[in-house]
Structure 1
Amino acid sequence: MPVVLSLNVAHKTTPVDYARAGVTGIDKRPVDGPREVRAPGARGTAGSGIAGDTIGDWTVHGGDYQAVYGYAREDLDWWQGELGVDLHNGQFGENLTTQGIDHTHALVGEHWRVGTVTLEVTGPRVPCRTFAGHLEQHSLGQRGWVKRFTQVARPGAYFRVLEPGRFAAGDEITVLHRPDHDVTVELFFRAVTTDADLLPRLLVAGDAVPPQVIELVHKRTTVELDS
């Protein structure tokens, strides 16, 4: 049975020189007990969907379509083998470290029941300067992290909150719904990082796709038609 291994939050932002905002909440740590989970609001006006969690830069992180970030322990273990370092739960900035469920091949628009919360998969995490700086400083000790993470394409999944509630470490994860299309988190990741020709395929996932990505697809289509 798929399960939440740990629920991870950042209690406060940390001043760093590698984040655009000068602070980051990426260093998340496991916490005991359940937390309230709700839709936080539009990006730019709200942060995390998990009570007590902190996000440093609301302009590019957080909001309804990035209310919760999940990463599979299996993928962390794979990276441990590749990098030769120990990676604790929450090391990649994930709120949910899971076991027994695949994030990479989850479908955008898939519904997961976690505790009393219903989550919807909304896409991948795209590596940024803050993520690179955090991992290079605290565990990797090497350059080129964004390129390597992008090539491997094990990005983890973002979620929005369809039904608020509470979840905690140890809660089972149940897939309630899988949409009838082939847009996986991995395909979405490839579309927005290395293969823009895939972008139009994201539209079949409907409103599970973040509005800014839909806007990107339409802009690219307009440019192609005008050229």
Structure 2
Amino acid sequence: MNVGRPKDVAWQGRTVYTGVWKHPVDGPVRARRLNLDGDGQGDTAGHGGEQRAVLVYQLDSYRYWQQHLGLRDDFGQFGENFTVDGLPDDEVCIGDRYRIGDAEFEVTQPRVTCYRVGLRLGVPEMAALLVAHHRPGFYMRVIREGHVRAGDEIVRTRQGPITVAETDALLYLPGRDLDRVRLAAAVPALSPGWQGSFRDMLAPAPAAATAWDGFRPLRVTRVIPENATVTSIHFADPPEAARPGQYLTLRLPDGAVRSYSISNDAYRITVKRESHGTASRYLTTELQPGTILDVAAPRGDFVLEDGPGPVLLISAGIGLTPVLAMLHHLASGPSPRQVWWIHAARSRAEHPLAAETSALLATLPDAREHVFYSATGGRLTAERLEALRLPATATAYVCGPDAFMKDMRTALTRSGVDRIRTELFTARPSVNPGLADRPARPPHPPTGEPGPGPQVTFARSGVSASVPAAASILDLADACDVPTRWSCRTGVCHTCETPLLSGSVAYSPDPLEPPAAGSVLICCSRPTTDVVLDM
């Protein structure tokens, strides 16, 4: 029996708040619905809770790792609550129930692949080793609360259909049998998160990620000022049609890499000149027709979905560009769908492409247009959006500043609209489980001398830097304060999977399953050439 309260632990210059440090306890411990008495988790999003109330690891696996890694038998060091004699992962099944003491438990899922077990053991790759060697351990929920003590007999009272080891392999390892995935997804006792992951695997595969690899030269045919600060740029002969709502990534003559939404049904981008933006200044004031620019293939999953239901196209400022591309697509039919165009701008003079928008809406049989100018009639607020009485069956596409999108999401939800898609121009929010908060810093080049490795460009963050010796791309991103998303840091969970716009990488360690084509796992990859990443 092992318990432990969360504590702060120093790690790579940061502080991790974690409950992975468990220690044996004497006497009976009460198992409750959410936890054992005296136990706790630092990151309750990934650990603990009703589905993960108790973590189990086996004495036989201790002996296995002692032989392979020289680990000692310090019970609780794998973060487990119950160290058990027996119950191997290749025999215990999801849905098994066990009576221990006067409590009863149900097996819900394998262990979460998390970097903190490696932190605890001093073996950074431990999360990957647990999966690769089919020894993850498992979580249980408490069916009947009661007291448990070391030495209690373990009695199975119900058996499930698929083992812990197979379930773990189906999620994390290649070569999976989809019939077995269907079986796993249908097990009622499996935790909702794992059920959702398996359902995602069974969903139809998306279309190919990109029309071409890396950058290719495209010729600028027209540069058209739309107002005092906004300019549209047209490219010749699009080699592949974009999906409405996607964006193009450009590499400019000075090496800067920037992404801009396509604003029509061809390859047109519409750029607002920012006061301190060297890239936007070049594109809006210096770029000339005939210029050749390196352009990556259209990307992005903020795209118009097919279907018969109403469509809400909601934008503010230059955020109109991706939803205008959606409007072009709807008008090309024209679509019989009910279309709502809702836009916010400071004034008529600062509302680019207004006439084009109205002309497109006029071709649709069931269109509505609502424009709000904050300088004259007041800004578009959540209350004003609710007052429009939007159809609850609609799908909403929202693009604009973060605060605007948050307000619109709130209003849409209160209006009964639950299919809401939003577009972020900046890097996606971080997923850094367990790290203590610290003041946010804008992305920046790393301190110190440049590294000896190839150059990595984080396109959304606008930062380029050379990789230090032996560092992963994730290590470099962390040093640049580029927002990152990760969990295992060893190539297992694919949380860090990121679109690769150009270049090539090598892996160390090798991931247990390769990422999708056109993507990389930044936690364990190192560039072999200069690379550009969509982050």
Fold conserved between structures, TM > 0.5: yes
Give the equivalent residue in structure 1 for 2:29.
35
Higher strand proportion (structure 1 or 2)? 2
Question: Residue 16 of structure 1 aligns to a residue in which SS?
Answer: strand
Deviation at 1:223, TM superposition (A): 3.2
CA distance in 2, matches of 1:192, 1:115: 32
Question: Residue 88 of structure 2 aligns to a residue in which SS?
Answer: coil
Kindly report which structure 2 residues correspond to 1:149-168, keeping only aligned pairs within 5 A, or say none.
149-168=130-149
Question: Residue 94 of structure 2 aligns to a residue in which SS?
Answer: coil
2:185 touches 2:199 (CA, 8 Å); kept in 1?
A: no
CA distance 1:21–1:110, change in 2 (3 Å): farther
Give the equivalent residue in structure 1 for 2:80.
94
Higher helix proportion (structure 1 or 2)? 1
Kindly report which structure 2 residues correspond to 1:32-111, keeping only aligned pairs within 5 A, or say none.
32-40=26-34, 49-111=35-97
Structure 2 spans left out of the alignment, 5+ residues: 209-535
Deviation at 1:21, TM superposition (A): 7.5
Instruction: Name the aligned partner's letter for residue 13 of structure 1.
Output: K
Give the equivalent residue in structure 1 for 2:10.
16
Give the equivalent residue in structure 2 for 1:200.
182
1:104 touches 1:155 (CA, 8 Å); kept in 2?
A: no
CA distance 1:11–1:147, change in 2 (3 Å): closer
Deviation at 1:11, TM superposition (A): 3.2
Deviation at 1:145, TM superposition (A): 2.5
TM-score after normalising by structure 2: 0.36
Deviation at 1:226, TM superposition (A): 8.1
1:13 touches 1:54 (CA, 8 Å); kept in 2?
A: no
CA distance in 1, matches of 2:145, 2:88: 23
- What is the aligned length? 205
Q: Deviations over 1:5-55 (max 9, x none)?
A: xx000034233326x982111010000111111212xxxxxxxx1011021
Question: Residue 100 of structure 1 aligns to a residue in which SS?
Answer: coil
Instruction: Name the aligned partner's letter for residue 23 of structure 1.
Output: Y
Give the equivalent residue in structure 1 for 2:203.
222
TM-score after normalising by structure 1: 0.82
CA distance in 1, matches of 2:154, 2:203: 40
Higher RCO by CA contacts (8 Å cutoff, separation 6 or greater): 1
CA distance 1:11–1:77, change in 2 (3 Å): same
CA distance in 2, matches of 1:22, 1:149: 21
Q: Which runs of 4+ in 1 moved over 4 A?
A: none
Q: Deviations over 1:58-82 (max 9, x none)?
A: 1111111110001111111111011
CA distance in 1, matches of 2:142, 2:36: 10
| RMSD (Å), alpha carbons | 2.2
Deviation at 1:146, TM superposition (A): 2.6
- How many percent identity over aligned positions? 30
CA distance in 1, matches of 2:41, 2:112: 16
CA distance 1:125–1:10, change in 2 (3 Å): same
Give the equivalent residue in structure 2 for 1:43.
none
CA distance 1:217–1:85, change in 2 (3 Å): closer
Deviation at 1:153, TM superposition (A): 1.1
